[in-house]
Structure 1
Amino acid sequence: MTNAYEYALGPCLLDLELSGGAVAISVWDTDPTLQAAWAADPGRIGRHGLEIVIALCLSFEIHREPVGKRVRTTNGLADDPGGQPAGRVM
């Protein structure tokens, strides 16, 4: 969301969808440029955001839209809404 706010030349939208112990986070902005993760470089300062997002999420998608693009991740939650630990069989 920070990149959409900082770099897109127009509006941006954030959508959150809770389902089955995970949250889907979708960000749309007007910039048609698709992000790409940089090759790992521990000496590089900055530009690690997408690497971190991809490492932490369950799924990652990026799609061009008729205007701009949409980035969507699915992230596991510590506990699901029913109070059961997410991802664990009890």
Structure 2
Amino acid sequence: MDQTADDDGREPTAEGPLAVSRLFEGSEGIATARHLARDFLTEVRSLHGLPVSGRAMGTVELVVSELVTNARKYAPGPCLLTLVVRGGIIEITVRDSNTALPAVSARDPHRIGGHGLEVVMAVCRNFQVHREPSGKRVTAMLELTDGPDGHATGPHP
């Protein structure tokens, strides 16, 4: 991790990953998941001195919204959202009870809806799906900072 000072002079912390998790069940809205992500990244930036770009903030909210929406729509029961920041990367993980792996539909610009997974895969540095004994785990990774061109830094698969 780059140990340069932030704009306000604070040094980024190097004490290990920062994380938050929340179980979503019942009638909790997707907006709650987005607010959790925004509040978490705001804390990462303000309390821990780690840089988080505006682009990253918005993209994380989008990805959280799409992944939690899919879990709530296609899996019975609750889903667990976990956000972990380490080394300038945020890992967004959603676990649900459906063992069926998500499939990306063939590209069709005329299709109404069903583009969420395509969008997530397009904006993330890495995207993985793993079947687990009680369901599946979907993880997306994004950089928290922008390169000189205003886009995400680092290689994309």
Do both share a fold (TM > 0.5)?
Answer: yes
- 2:148 corresponds to 1:75: no
- 2:128 corresponds to 1:61: yes
The residue type paired with residue 46 of structure 1 is G
- 2:70 corresponds to 1:8: no
Q: Kindly report structure 1 stretches of 4+ aligned residues shifted beyond 6 Å.
A: none
Higher helix fraction (1 or 2): 2
Higher RCO, 1 vs 2 (CA within 8 Å, ≥6 residues apart):
1
TM-score, normalization by structure 1: 0.83
Structure ID, larger Rg:
2
SS in 2 for 1:64: strand
2:50 maps to none
Higher strand fraction (1 or 2): 1
TM-score, normalization by structure 2: 0.49
Instruction: Supply the RMSD in Å over aligned alpha carbons.
Output: 1.6
Output the CA distance in 2 between the equivalents of 1:30 and 1:63. 12
The residue type paired with residue 29 of structure 1 is D
- 2:111 corresponds to 1:44: yes
Structure 1, unaligned runs of 5 or more: 80-85
Output the CA distance in 2 between the equivalents of 1:38 and 1:76. 26
Structure 2, unaligned runs of 5 or more: 1-67, 147-151
SS in 2 for 1:50: helix
Deviation at 1:77, TM superposition (A): 1.5
Identity of matched residues, %: 52
For residues 9-39 of structure 1, give each alpha carbon's deviation from its aligned partner in whole angstroms, at most 9, with x where no partner exists. 1121001110122100000000111101111
Output the CA distance in 1 between the equivalents of 2:145 and 2:127. 19
The residue type paired with residue 127 of structure 2 is F
